[in-house]
Amino acid sequence: MNPIAQQKIRKAALQKYNLYGNEWEKAYFDKYYGGFVVVSKQRVEQGNMNKQEKEKYDKEYNMCLTLAKNGYKVEYLMITEGSFDIYLNGISADLKKTTSHNNILDYAKKAIYKQGAKIVVFEFDTMTGKIRGELNKMKRMGIKVKYFTSENNIVIDL
């Protein structure tokens, strides 16, 4: 992308980021790509309720940071039973971190068909052939997926 276009994208993203009101914590802005993370203050409170919620919050927040560092605009929402986790560039998305191929298709189906997500974002520790096979099944089913590995943090759009 040419530098002038990139500068316009960053400027527009910063303007949008700065428009978020008091109900949002402005957590991160990427000055190079224009991605950002804003967190519902209610979600921050939920993350401080107990050790288990803190671990879940930290895991999901770190996934949000990776997305922002790849140029995505992330709104990290408060927990609502049976709902998705974030808006990713304005589109409902659910976050899933897993270590293996087991159950990832079920996670994706639940996120799309029961939680109202349009996109599922996966973080895998490492990529394997079995994980690729499951991702290809999702693609054939028309499930929109973005994923990255903990090794390289480069978001891939399936």
For the ranges 41-45, 60-64, 99-103, 114-118, which has the lowest average pLDDT?
A: 99-103
Sign of CA dihedral 141, 134, 88, 42: positive
Provide the domain limits for residue 57.
1-79
**Predicted local confidence at residue 31, as pLDDT:** 93
The pLDDT confidence band at residue 4, using thresholds 50, 70 and 90, is confident
Q: What's the mean pLDDT when you consider all of the chain?
A: 96
Hunting for tokens 């709902």 — which residue is that?
Answer: 83
Per-residue pLDDT tens for 68-126? 999 999 999 999 989 999 999 999 999 999 999 999 999 999 999 999 999 999 999 99
Residue 111, classed as helix, strand or coil, is helix
Largest CA distance in the chain: 46
Tell me the two tokens of residue 84: 């998705």
Contact 37, 65 (CB under 8 A): yes
The pTM score is 0.95
**Predicted local confidence at residue 1, as pLDDT:** 67
Q: Based on the domain organization, do 96 and 30 belong to the same domain?
A: no
Q: Based on the domain organization, do 75 and 96 belong to the same domain?
A: no
Contact 88, 67 (CB under 8 A): yes
Contact 37, 21 (CB under 8 A): no
Q: Based on the domain organization, do 48 and 3 belong to the same domain?
A: yes
Per-residue pLDDT tens for 9-35? 999 999 999 999 999 999 999 999 999
Side-chain half-sphere CA neighbours of 79 within 13 A: 14
Helix ranges, the chain (H): 3-19, 41-47, 51-69, 104-109, 129-141
Q: Based on the domain organization, do 61 and 19 belong to the same domain?
A: yes
Question: What is the number of structural domains in the chain?
Answer: 2
Q: Based on the domain organization, do 150 and 135 belong to the same domain?
A: yes
Q: DSSP letter at 73?
A: E
Tell me the two tokens of residue 68: 């922002």
**65: Cβ contacts below 8 Å, ≥ 6 apart:** 28, 37
